[in-house]
Amino acid sequence: RRDGTLQVLVIPFAGKQRMVLSRDVSQLERLENVRRDFVANVSHEMRTPLTVVGGFLETLIDGLDDFSREDVIHFLTLASEQSTRMQRLIEELLTLSALETGAPAQIDDEPVDAVGLVREVAAEAELLSAGRHTLSLVVEGEAALLGSRKELHSAFSNLASNAVRYTPAGGHIEIGWRAGLECGEYWVRDDGIGIDPAHIPRLTERFYRVDRGRSRETGGTGLGLAIVKHIVTRHQGELVIDSELGKGSRFAMRFPAPRLRMQRP
């Protein structure tokens, strides 16, 4: 092929005959590019906080006597924040890699009390918001959701914490659960910064962020939605994203009826 993605090998075989082997290398190349990008991204994400920590430590070593106790505490606090950031990055990378290598069958299918879980996630979001937003909770339909409580908790709280992080103070966040005969849906709606539709198809890629600076400022790693997507897929569900720039977003995880055990019709 002109783009060089078809490799043809001609091997002499039994006298005049030739054996022709060809393979499409475009898929291999794509995988290799994904792998290379991933390593570059991880290295970059790790290098930034490490440079900050290293810089603070060197400054302190060079001039410890020149700094007041308050200055030293200030430096150490900033360095400690960076180390928390690296820890979170590594934890999320490990979560992602466990999700990617684990077959769906490996989910322990326990009946998870969906309403209880949603209430727990809403309480956590309330703490994270620390009074900066008004939060409301909508619950319709008690149901047990079959799946891994740990994974579902991680996905639900990821969406809730994103709403808190991408909604300016004074905004409103709604966290909800609805279970019906057709499906069960968990959603988080906010009236925050919103997302240009052009970005939506790429949001679940590892390290994809609309605004890198803003994500960093709020402690983001760019891995949250990649994790959510894996978890919802492992539970045979889908992630539905609706958003409008400057108006707000709605992220929903929809689970099919076979994943639900209705407790009250």
Whichever of 71 and 205 has its CB closer to ligand ADP, that residue is 205
Residue 163 sits in the site that holds ligand ADP (CB under 6 A): yes
CA dist 177 and 117 (Å) reads 10
Whichever of 155 and 179 has its CB closer to ligand ADP, that residue is 155
Write down the number of H helices and E strands in the chain: 6, 10
Q: Residue 135 CA to chain centroid, in angstroms?
A: 22
Out of 203, 232, 239, 253, which residue is the one contacting ligand ADP (CB under 6 A)? 203
Residue 225 sits in the site that holds ligand ADP (CB under 6 A): yes
Q: Comparing C-alpha atoms, which of 247, 245, 119, 131 is closest to residue 186?
A: 119
Whichever of 75 and 207 has its CB closer to ligand ADP, that residue is 207
Out of 249, 252, 253, 259, which residue is the one contacting ligand ADP (CB under 6 A)? 249
Alpha-helix runs per DSSP H in the chain: 26-63, 69-101, 114-129, 149-165, 212-217, 224-234
Residue 176 sits in the site that holds ligand ADP (CB under 6 A): no
Whichever of 226 and 239 has its CB closer to ligand ADP, that residue is 226
Residue 215 sits in the site that holds ligand ADP (CB under 6 A): yes
- Pairing outcome for strands 172-179 and 134-140: parallel
Residue 220 sits in the site that holds ligand ADP (CB under 6 A): yes
Whichever of 106 and 136 has its CB closer to ligand ADP, that residue is 136
Which contacts of 91-99 are long-range, i.e. CB under 8 A and separated by 24 or more positions? 92/221, 92/223, 92/224, 92/227, 93/42, 93/223, 95/154, 95/227, 96/206, 96/223, 96/226, 96/227, 96/230, 99/151, 99/227, 99/230, 99/231, 99/234
CB under 6 A: which stretch of 27-35, 111-119, 121-129, 203-211 binds ligand ADP?
203-211
Least separation, in Å, of the C-beta of 209 and ligand ADP? 3
Whichever of 110 and 124 has its CB closer to ligand ADP, that residue is 124
**Which residues pair with residue 148 across a beta bridge?**
none
Least separation, in Å, of the C-beta of 102 and ligand ADP? 20
- What is the dihedral angle through the alpha carbons of 144, 238, 103, 33, rounded to the nearest 10 degrees? -160
Site string for ligand ADP, 177-196 (x = CB under 6 A): -------------x-xxxx-
> Binding residues for ligand ADP, per CB under 6 A?
162-163, 166, 190, 192-195, 203, 209-211, 215, 220-226, 249
